[in-house]
Amino acid sequence: MTPTKQRPIRAASGVTALTALASGLIGILANGYLVLFYLTAKPWQPDSLARQVKGDPTSYGTINDWLIPLQLTLLIPIVIWLGQQTQIDKGSRRWTAIALAASIAATLLQLLLVTGVLPFAIQVGPVAVCVLLLLCWAGIISAAGRRHGVLSHSTVRLGRLVMWAVPVGVAAFAVGIGISALQGEGSWAWVVGGLPGALAWLAFPIWVLLAARDAAWGAHR
């Protein structure tokens, strides 16, 4: 018997791969500042620094807010490229459009936040929806990308894991919010409930880095 030759995954242009690489690295940096904000400001505590001082007392949250628009703007070329490579699938075309809309909308909303046009209380809900849509897109486009020889197994596995974390994260956060409402101010329940969704968002830029690797050098089945 002769060994089966592995079919290489198609590579993208250098610009697409580089922008995806930059998006992933900036996303990791932004998430690091977000974690630092929650660890230092502790906004869930009644006597926390975040509630005693108006605005962001640590600047970590503000830096995160500025990095996210850059992260999502640099994500757009890889969204388009993956959509082009899998456009034969109707679902891929639909989710490519959704991911583009979510990236652009979240970018604009973040800019409106950091420039003081929109308050966080109004901005956070729509941005959260955009984030959830991007996490779902990562899983759906990963499966399509694998079928069409665009993404490697490791990229697909992480993308699917990120996607399936969405319903778990939404359910856990809803339960956490409900418990916090019953327990009153200072409850940690909403923080614990938000962990699955937070972990999925923390993993998202890592998935983008894997997609950048596949786009730049290809991989094998």
Closest by Cα among 29, 30, 32, 33 to 56: 33
Which of residues 25 and 2 earns the better pLDDT score? 25
The answer to whether 204 and 132 are in contact (CB under 8 A) is no
| Type of residue found at 92 | S
Task: Output the CA angle 203-205-206, nearest 5 degrees.
Answer: 65
Question: What count of Cα atoms within 13 Å lies in the side-chain half-sphere of residue 54?
Answer: 1
Q: Please answer whether residues 79 and 104 qualify as being in contact, where contact means their C-beta atoms are separated by less than 8 angstroms.
A: no
Closest CA to 210 of 80, 86, 24: 24
Task: For residue 212, give both structure tokens.
Answer: 């950048």
pLDDT class of 186 with cuts at 50, 70, 90:
low
What integer pLDDT is reported at residue 39 of this predicted model? 85
What's the pLDDT band for 17 if we cut at 50, 70, 90? very high
Question: Quick one: what percent of the chain has pLDDT higher than 70?
Answer: 84
> Which of 45-59, 122-136, 174-188 is the least confident region?
45-59
Rounded Cα gap, residues 102 and 96, in angstroms: 10
* Residues shown for the chain: 221
In angstroms, the CA 101 to CA 58 distance is: 31
Closest Cα partner for 56 from 36, 29, 70, 31? 36
The predicted structure's pLDDT at residue 221: 42
Q: Is the pLDDT of residue 77 over 80?
A: yes
Identify the residue whose tokens are 């990095």.
Answer: 67
> What CA dihedral angle connects 163, 80, 23 and 209, to 10 degrees?
60
Give the predicted TM-score (pTM) of the model: 0.87
Residue 218, pLDDT above cutoff 90: no
The label of the residue with tokens 């972990």 reads: 199
Tokens for 57? 């007392």
